[in-house]
Structure 1
Amino acid sequence: MIGVEAGDGYVWKKSKPPPTYDEFFIGLMVKDKEFGEFYAKTIARVLGREPPIPRLNKDGRWVVEVASKTLYELLKKPIDIEKIRPYVEHCERCIAAFLRGFFDSEGCVRKNGIIEVTNTDYRLLEYVIYLLSRIGIETTSDEPILRQRAGTPIRDPETGKVYRQRKDCYYVKVSKKSNLTFYEKVSFTIERKRLEEYLKKRGLLLTIR
């Protein structure tokens, strides 16, 4: 869940006048309903509550939101890496869970098998490289690489509208020789099938595990 929030997730606060108390929320807005449902179940496990029901907004995206001041303070952006480190690095399984959530939010598997993740937070991507190395996954560079400068015009492929990149955007690529290790230790929730198909074509995966 921390990995998802570090990626596409958001937090917000609803201020209220005294004597009532402010309300704090964390959430996710995605195109894929399956991913939204997965996120809702993860929140439910963390908070010990019933999973929130994803709702479809007028833009055609699924919204999952829950009130929690504790998670708001932990996950507000920019992400405080030192705050989340004890939870993320608790064990290899926790590292893998963080990376899976982050790659589900910000990553993709291209047709040529390249596994890539992008974000505007340079320090966060540095941390991702470090975590990948902790579990034996190599990247093509030792540091995030600049993809787009702030102010670069970008066309939305769905709407055709042009907008400008607000912040510098960076990317990290997993080395292809680590693709099988990534699949076995991290993988994806949504793009898992595409990664499986690539590995089978390369003869690296004989059966679906």
Structure 2
Amino acid sequence: MFTRFRPISCAFAFACLSGIARIATSRAMQASPMVPLILIPLGLAVAPVPAHEIGTPAWAIETATLRTGPGSNYPAASGTVTAGQALRVTRCTRRWCTIDGSTGWLSMDDLSFGQTPTDYFAAPQPVIARGGPGEVCFHDAENYMGQTICLPSGAVARDLSLLGWDNRIASVSVSGTVSVNLCRDRDFASLCTLITRSTPRLERLLTRAASSYQVW
């Protein structure tokens, strides 16, 4: 004996399937905890570093021709600097630095660091202390606090990770006739700052971000 099935309409079938789907979705939501959606206000987003903040402020002491590499034996580059010109140094080797806005290199002997236009013309050129006696001390907290390591003139570290001090320096104390060239990357690359006096708080791009140094 055969059972006769009555045909169902498409509308009725769609309604049944929709109901089954709603039940399955409800059960799945009950079984799995809901993850809240967190929206971050635009005001709290990390702002990019303005281009004018990249590099170390410096001044050209003499009119000079840029070189294509870090040395006077390299060919002249397509660019010159004039005495008194404001510059931004982006990275340095032992004696030569690259200048922001160009692909050329300039001797450190032709540079003066960390001055303003007013200071440059209204006051004598500061003397960069070199050779000692004296020492430079690095501190892993601001205001000369935390762990400390002190070094004499002539000390060089191309990679601070080998000394356990990579990305740790937060303040620098200077005593005597010494100074230090502190750089953000290994091998004196990227942002470098010449520090000639005690600094209780490093600039933002160097704070706990330095990876090499040269003590003069």
Q: TM-score, normalised by structure 1?
A: 0.23
Higher strand fraction: Structure 1 or Structure 2? 2
Q: TM-score, normalised by structure 2?
A: 0.23
Higher relative contact order (CA 8 A, sep 6+): 1
| Structure ID, larger Rg | 2
